[in-house]
Amino acid sequence: MATSRATSRATSRLLRTAGTALTAAALLVSGCSSGSPSSGASTGASTGQPTNSRTDPGGADRDAATATLKPLPATVPANLRPYYNQRLTWGECDIVGFECTTMRAPLDYDAPSAATDLKLAVSRKKATGPGSRIGSLLVNPGGPGASAIGYLQQYAPQPDAVRARYDMVAVDPRGVARSEPVTCLSNAQMDDYTRIDQTPDSDAEVDRLTSALRSFAQGCRTRTGARLGHVSTAESARDMDVLRAALGDEKLTYVGASYGTFLGATYAGLFPSRVGRLVLDGATDPSLPARTMNRDQTAGFNTAFTAFAEDCAKKRDCPLGTSGPEEAGRRLSALFKKLDAHPAPTGSPRPLTESLATSGVTAAMYDEGAWPVLREYLAQAQKGDGRGLLGLSDAYYERDPDGTYANQMFANPAVNCLDLPGSFANPDEVRAALPAFRKASPVFGESFAWAALNCAYWPVKPTGTPHRITADGAAPILVVGTTRDPATPYPWARSLASQLSSASLLTYEGDGHTAYGRGSDCIDTAINTYLLEGTPPPTGKRCT
């Protein structure tokens, strides 16, 4: 497939944000985030168990949680001191200008043992100057499952002012990419899995979908083993504190996007006294149960699709008509239905199915810069050529041209299904919820609802429940929300900012997922000033 410069830029952006996607192949429990108050199978104060915790059996829908994440003791326990006191030995990376190393972390923080230690991959780009070095700045692009190191090495050169004063650092979280990766299926099996019909029209199709979900889950158990029960967000947050100490920093400075905001907020809740300057961009709400988050995201993608449709209607070549979102939704739904019955050829052995087309369209909702490409590829698909949308879907799934998949779509459910009880316990619960999901999005609602069934078959029981994070005593934290963000709806940012006792809310009035580095001088200046000077913008500040 030929790739234009615009397509290349859009695909690059999609790869950057793919870790935040609500997958159309039933890989996620709650899109880009979930809540995890505990770290491993056990509970109690040592793992930051929330107080007044309420369970959510079967993913039952309900109001936001009243539980609050408890901080861990400020003093490092004796059995964890060897991890905190470790020395990192840096060496060259494959990419010039970056250093790489590994750090040790206990598989189970409640029962650390050198025999089961994990080796987590770390990379950094040292401060370049001019100006005095402030410290280390840890970054995470979200997911869960996106490689923080890959993100760092591709995007750390910007912004110049921040790079000059900080060592830019990333650790691939446990279970992700270079850090003891979760593995579930072969590449060929993954190709089959992404094509599974997730708008089942009969009991037989429901059976095929649930069989695929069970096989995926069993593959994760077989190929990953005991590590599958120790990839929670709380454990990754504790790994970040070990890394902070190993880097020699008294406090953590951090920029997290999408799911990375939940990871950063969890760190703040567990270690409020060690919070430095935290930017949480594209914020998630840890107090919500999985089903509510799924439905919120469904509405978020509908908001993004409405913005795309309104923009498309202004173009003479719009493949979805020129009368606006309602007509556009009907035409896109008709295309999906057509592909469900007759997948489109792509010039390869992999035809474009409804599920692959849905993931391709979903991917383009993350960045308005991809809208021209989406218009082109939708027009192609309407004419029976599925190559363009298949390419967007492959970028979304991090599938290389040679058919190799990154582990992102394996790590994603592994974290999400551990962090929260699943949205649904069985197909009947999905069927009952379909009207609410269709109301949230007539185009995406059905597929997103069925996608949320995956955790029902997960081989490891969840260790977390919904909870609030207050991080009492933490230094000022900056929460950023985008008003028409598809994956992390803006109300989540408002909610997280209201929970965190020291948070300021910065709002970007615009389209796309996250705000920092996406073209708003107002947003970038506010965040850079906070990182460089420690002064957050006044809460309520809005940018365009």
Residues 6+ apart with CB under 8 A from 474: 268, 272, 273, 275, 278, 500, 501, 502
Q: Which residues does residue 168 pair with via DSSP β-bridges, in sequence order?
A: 125, 137
Neighbours of 494 (CB within 10 A): 16
CB 331, CB 351: distance < 8 Å:
no
CB 265, CB 468: distance < 8 Å:
no
Question: What are the φ/ψ torsions at residue 542 (nearest 5 degrees)?
Answer: -125, 140
485 is catalytic: yes
**Amino acid type, 43:** T
The DSSP 8-state label assigned to residue 102 in this structure reads: E
CA dihedral defined by 150, 152, 155, 158, rounded to 10 degrees? -170
Q: Beta-strand (E) ranges in 267-417?
A: 275-281
Helices (H), 342-473: 354-364, 371-382, 387-397, 408-419, 427-440, 445-451
Rounded CA-CA distance 358/6 in Å is 21
Set 38, 39, 230, 513: catalytic member: 513
Set 485, 502, 504, 524: catalytic member: 485
CB 255, CB 56: distance < 8 Å:
no
What six digits make up the tokens of 86?
A: 């470790």
Q: Strand, coil or helix: what is 426?
A: coil
The DSSP 8-state label assigned to residue 184 in this structure reads: -
Provide the CA 537 distance to its chain's centre, in angstroms. 26
Among all chains, which residue has been given the structure tokens 């080796």?
119
The DSSP 8-state label assigned to residue 132 in this structure reads: -
**Amino acid type, 70:** K
Q: What is the 3-state secondary structure (H, E, C) of 62-93?
A: CCCCCCECCCCCCCCCHHHHHHHCCCCCCEEC
What six digits make up the tokens of 423?
A: 């949205």
Set 30, 33, 136, 258: catalytic member: 258
> Would you name the residues annotated as active-site residues?
258, 485, 513
